[in-house]
């Protein structure tokens, strides 16, 4: 089920509050806002309001035997990829980048934020449909540049369906096959140069050595031949 609202502070915050209520939402329920006034991204970043863009969140109930909750970011990334590919005339310029970014023509297209609430995850997703923010540290992009105007309701329905598909794959087959699918669509090639902006503000350079099958962490091979496993950060 997808519920649309004209405006809210944060769809993630709204669903988190609802999960703490006496009538919590069920898995698969989505809240989509046409405008957010207090959205946020990973590492505490403010999320671009972007009226005309997709800004929504959904609930995932954690079950015994599920892969690690943080790996749901790959479910969300694959869902964004599929929904974006459906509206593009040519998806060759659409790629994924660790940890969970969709990149269109080299520019950041989306943002994903997971929040744990009790035994559930609220997965927040933002996709630049109509406009992209100006960011000082990276190129950004919007789907409309290559696909023309995007109808929000149809995009939301496609995204929700794709998310449900990849969630089922994540549960039934585990994380390893999902990571393989992610890498097939990614900008990362084994041995390619990578610079990671760590959560402490430092930059670490090396070459791409794959993803950890347990949680999707980045394996970075350093100049001395050793490997460092990175579980949080951004690729510059």
* Torsion over CA: 101, 223, 217, 176 (sign): positive
CATH number of the domain where residue 219 is located: 2.30.30.100
Q: Which of 143, 159, 184 is the last residue of a domain?
A: 184
Asked if 58 and 157 sit in the same domain, the reply is yes
Q: Is the pLDDT of residue 233 over 80?
A: no
Q: Is the pLDDT of residue 44 over 50?
A: no
Place of tokens 């593009």: 88
What confidence category does residue 231 fall into, taking pLDDT thresholds of 50, 70 and 90? confident
Asked if 43 and 135 sit in the same domain, the reply is yes
CATH number of the domain where residue 46 is located: 3.30.930.10
Asked if 42 and 80 sit in the same domain, the reply is yes
Percent of the chain with pLDDT strictly greater than 90: 72
CA distance 217 to 189: 15
Asked if 14 and 36 sit in the same domain, the reply is yes
Domain count, the chain: 2
Asked if 205 and 99 sit in the same domain, the reply is no
Asked if 135 and 208 sit in the same domain, the reply is no
Residue 203: beta bridge partners? 197
Residue 83 in tokens: 């929904």
Contact by Cβ (8 Å): 155, 125: no
What pLDDT score was predicted for residue 49?
59
What pLDDT score was predicted for residue 42?
46
Asked if 33 and 105 sit in the same domain, the reply is yes
Contact by Cβ (8 Å): 195, 236: yes
Asked if 127 and 200 sit in the same domain, the reply is no
What pLDDT score was predicted for residue 40?
56
Q: Is the pLDDT of residue 199 over 80?
A: no
Asked if 231 and 202 sit in the same domain, the reply is yes
Domain span including residue 141: 2-184
pTM for this prediction: 0.91
What confidence category does residue 43 fall into, taking pLDDT thresholds of 50, 70 and 90? very low
Asked if 102 and 22 sit in the same domain, the reply is yes
Q: Which of 144, 164, 184 is the last residue of a domain?
A: 184
């Amino acid at each position: 089920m997808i519920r649309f609202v004209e405006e809210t502070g944060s769809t993630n915050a709204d669903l988190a509050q609802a999960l703490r209520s006496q009538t919590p939402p069920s898995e698969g329920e989505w809240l989509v806002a046409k405008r957010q006034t207090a959205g946020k991204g990973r590492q505490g970043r403010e999320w671009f309001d972007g009226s005309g863009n997709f800004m929504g969140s959904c609930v995932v109930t954690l079950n015994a035997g599920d892969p690690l909750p943080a790996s749901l970011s790959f479910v969300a990334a694959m869902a964004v990829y599929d929904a974006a590919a459906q509206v593009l005339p040519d998806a060759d310029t659409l790629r994924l980048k660790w940890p969970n970014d969709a990149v269109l023509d080299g520019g950041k297209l989306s943002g994903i934020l997971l929040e744990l609430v009790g035994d559930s995850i609220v997965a927040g997703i933002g996709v630049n449909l109509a406009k992209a923010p100006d960011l000082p540290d990276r190129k950004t992009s919007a789907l409309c540049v290559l696909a023309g105007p995007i109808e929000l309701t149809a995009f939301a329905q496609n995204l929700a369906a794709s998310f449900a598909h990849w969630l089922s794959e994540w549960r039934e087959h585990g994380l390893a096959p999902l990571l393989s699918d992610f890498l097939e669509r990614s900008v990362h090639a084994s041995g390619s140069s990578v610079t990671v902006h760590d959560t402490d503000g430092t930059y670490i350079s090396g070459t791409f050595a794959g993803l950890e099958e347990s949680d999707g962490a980045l394996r970075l091979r350093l100049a001395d031949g050793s490997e460092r496993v990175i579980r949080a950060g951004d690729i510059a």
